[in-house]
Every structure is written in structure tokens, then in C-alpha cells.
A and B are shown apart, each in its own frame.
Chain A
Amino acid sequence: MQAGGGGAGGGGDAADLRGRHRIQAELKKLEQEARFLEEELEELEKTDKVSSALQEFLTAMESKADPLLPITTGPVNQSWDRWFEGPQDLRRCKCWFL
């Protein structure tokens, strides 16, 4: 198709052909993006306002125990305070971080 396009270009030199292919590729990308944006717009028509999900957000957050907070829900885990003790076994001392 590309070769055919080049032949049917009618006076188009190599630079012209390259330019045509580049514009065609960009055009395809833009058309695809427009389709995605239309889909998102359609979805958004059915989406609730921000406030509708916030109560659940607050409740879920507050029901989870957090060792770094001065006031938190339980249960308490004794290992939370291990950072203030010396290592029990130096050979097995390891800490993993996310």
C-alpha cells in the first residue's frame, strides 16, 4: 500500500512521501485519541460527583490501624515499637520497605 501510494503520488519526491506518511500516522493517532476522549466523555456523563464517594473513603481510612498516628484504631501490634529496641539477632536483622 505504501509503495502503491508512492507510485500514485503523482510527482511526489521521497521527502514528500515521508511527509505524507508522517501526517497520515499523526492523523491516525489523533483520530484514535478522539475516540478515546469521546468514550471518556460518555463515561463521565454517568459518573457521580466527588462528594458521593467521600464518606466511604473517610470510613475506610479511619477503620484501619495506623502505627504512625497518635490516635488510631486497634488492634495494636507489639512489633510496631521494635524500632526502639536493639536487634534480637544481628545475623537475621533485616527491614523491607515498599
Chain B
Amino acid sequence: MASVAELKEKHAAATASVNSLRERLRQRRETLLDTDVARYSKAQGRPPVSFNSTDLVCCRTLQGHSGKVVDLLSLTSILAQLSLPTFPLVSVPSCAIGSVRRYQFSAFQVSLEFRDTIADFSEVIMCVSINSSNTNMFVSGSCDATVRLWDIRIASRAVRTYHGHESDVNSVKFFPDGHRFGTGSDDGTCRLFDMRTGHQLQVYSREANRSDNELPTVTSIAFSISGRLLFAGYSNGDCYVWDTLLAEMVLNLGNLQNSHDGRISCLGMSSDGSALCTGSWDKNLKIWAFSGHRKIV
């Protein structure tokens, strides 16, 4: 039996080995980052998305909440899964401190029952997103500035960990194709990652305000149905519309007429992609749709 001193020695060696491997991984990843989405798209001559100020408008305001709206329940994803014949009981990951728990959703009862814990680690999990192309896979964003990919068939071990953010990851959403995902963080940036390779494809960062060096944090994100637009709500009330390809901000919904009076705290896209829903600390939900002239090519 090893003594405590020997164990401590082994522990220190193992820690050093893990840190060295992490560094090697980071360096190897850097050598593979020969470009990013914006540089590549510009080189390919992709034109930017251009909005007039009246193209995206608030067409409905939903009132009724007596407090801040903090999250939009993904009802459609749950209902869509229920319709799958192979899943009479569907697992819905739900967010909790330090773990992602699985609940059974009964087709015959409107109730959720705790089943088991499928992801467990020491950091606070802020958000999850289920992959619509493979509902066994989901990603979680956490307070250790990482995003983790989980497969509910693999017990309690993250399939992959994605590094890049410098602070809490508040929001994570799968890209519509299910091969990539976007993130929003307390470090003020949104990022796009490739799920399979782990590459960080793009960083969407805003410039610091002249009067205040602190960047507003990202509270929530959503992609348009093609993925060309990335909507990002910030702690200062802004809601940027990013051109995903060129990494340029093309519109700020927070500045538009009829926008929210408080921080936009959650975002959701309609299942056909025709409208964006924003929820805010001003207790309202708003629906935004395209009202301009649409050119079909």
C-alpha cells in the first residue's frame, strides 16, 4: 500500500502529465486553424447580408408575465421527439447545478419524472442544447469556460471538451445542420465550433464601448434556419444580428422601434424559421419577422 507521500507524488506527476497533454493539444489545434469562417468567406467573395431598418420588425408583443422572462421552453423539440415511434418514452436533458439529469416524458401524462443523472462534473452547467439530427447527443456550456459534448449512451463521460471561451458559457445552440454549434459567454463573445473536429471556426466579438472598457456579456443566442444569421442578446440590452459568414454585426434589434425596455434574456426561433421570439426582463415576449422585400435567387 502506497503511503500518502507517495500518492501525493504520483498525483503531482499525473497533474503535470495532464497539463502537458492539454498544452500539446492546444498547440496542435492552433496549427490546424489555417483560417476562420469570415476570412474564408471573404476570400470566396461572399457578399454581406444587408438589412434596411424596417426589414426585421416586431410584429407581436406577448404580455402577461408578472416577472422577468428568463427562458423559452423548447416545446417543439419535445413534441417532435414524442412523435417518433421508437421513443415511446423520451429523454429530455434538463439543466441543473453540476449535472444534467434525464427525465422521462410520458406520452400519456403531461409530467416529467426524474430518471437518472447522465452528465456529472464539478462545474455549474449553464445551458444545454440537444442535437436535432441525433437526439442522443447534446452539448452543455459551463462555468469553467468550456463546452462539453455528451452522448446519453456513454455513461457520465463527456465525449469531447471544447476550449476557447475565457469565462462562463451562458448559452449554447446547435447549428441547424447538427454538425456545428454556437456559444455565447460572459467573455462577451459568441463562437462557432465544429462538433466533430473540435475546431473553433469563428469568434464573434464586439468592440468595447468607448466609455466603458467592460464588454457586455452574452446572455442568449439563436441561429436563423439556414444558419446565416446569429442572434445574440447582451447584458446591456443589445440584441445583435450577426452575419455568421462574415462575422459582422448587421442589425441591433435592441435599438429598433418597439424593442424591449429591458435586457433581452432569451431567444427562440419558430420551427419554420419565419420568426424570432425574444424574451426580456421587461416581462414581455416579442415576435420579430421579415417585413421587407424578399428577393429569391
Contact = CB atoms under 8 A, between A and B. Distances in A.
Contacts of B287: 83, 95
Contacts of B297: 71-73
Contacts of B29: 44
Nearest to B267: A97
A19 B35 contact: no
B24 A67 contact: no
- Measured as residues with beta carbon below 8 angstroms from the partner, the interface class of chain A is 35 or more
Given A68-B229, A70-B292, A72-B297, A54 B40 contact: yes
A31 B98 CA distance: 21
A77 interface: yes
A98 B269 CA distance: 5
Contacts of A62: 226, 228
Interface stretch (B52-60, B134-142, B203-211, B254-262): B52-60
Contacts, number: 198
A50 interface: yes
Contact of B245 (A61, A70, A82): A61
Contact of B276 (A20, A48, A68): A68
Contact of B227 (A47, A54, A61, A95): A61
Given A44-B29, A48-B197, A98-B271, A66 B226 contact: yes
Interface in B129-178: 157, 160, 176-177
Given A48-B197, A51-B34, A70 B49 contact: yes
Contacts of A64: 176, 225-227
A86 B14 CA distance: 65
Interface in B1-31: 1, 4, 7-8, 10-11, 14-15, 17-18, 21-22, 24-25, 28-29
Contact of A80 (B72, B272, B293): B272
Interface string B264-297: 0000111111111100000000010111111111
> Which secondary structure dominates where chain A touches chain B?
helix
A76 interface: yes
Contacts of B293: 70
B83 interface: no
B51 interface: yes
Given A37-B25, A69-B294, 19 more contacts: A8-B1, A16-B4, A23-B11, A24-B7, A27-B14, A30-B14, A53-B194, A54-B37, A57-B37, A58-B44, A58-B245, A67-B272, A68-B224, A70-B50, A70-B51, A73-B297, A83-B274, A95-B275, A96-B271
25 contacts: A27-B11, A40-B160, A41-B21, A45-B28, A47-B198, A47-B199, A49-B32, A54-B40, A54-B201, A57-B37, A58-B46, A61-B177, A66-B273, A67-B272, A67-B274, A69-B224, A72-B226, A73-B296, A80-B272, A84-B289, A95-B270, A95-B287, A96-B75, A96-B79, A98-B270
Interface of B: 1, 4, 7-8, 10-11, 14-15, 17-18, 21-22, 24-25, 28-29, 32-37, 40-41, 44, 46, 49-52, 55-56, 59-60, 72, 74-77, 79, 157, 160, 176-177, 180, 194, 197-199, 201, 224-229, 244-245, 268-277, 287, 289-297
Of all A-B residue pairs in the complex, the 6 with the closest CB atoms, nearest first, are A97-B268, A66-B226, A30-B14, A37-B21, A83-B289, A64-B226
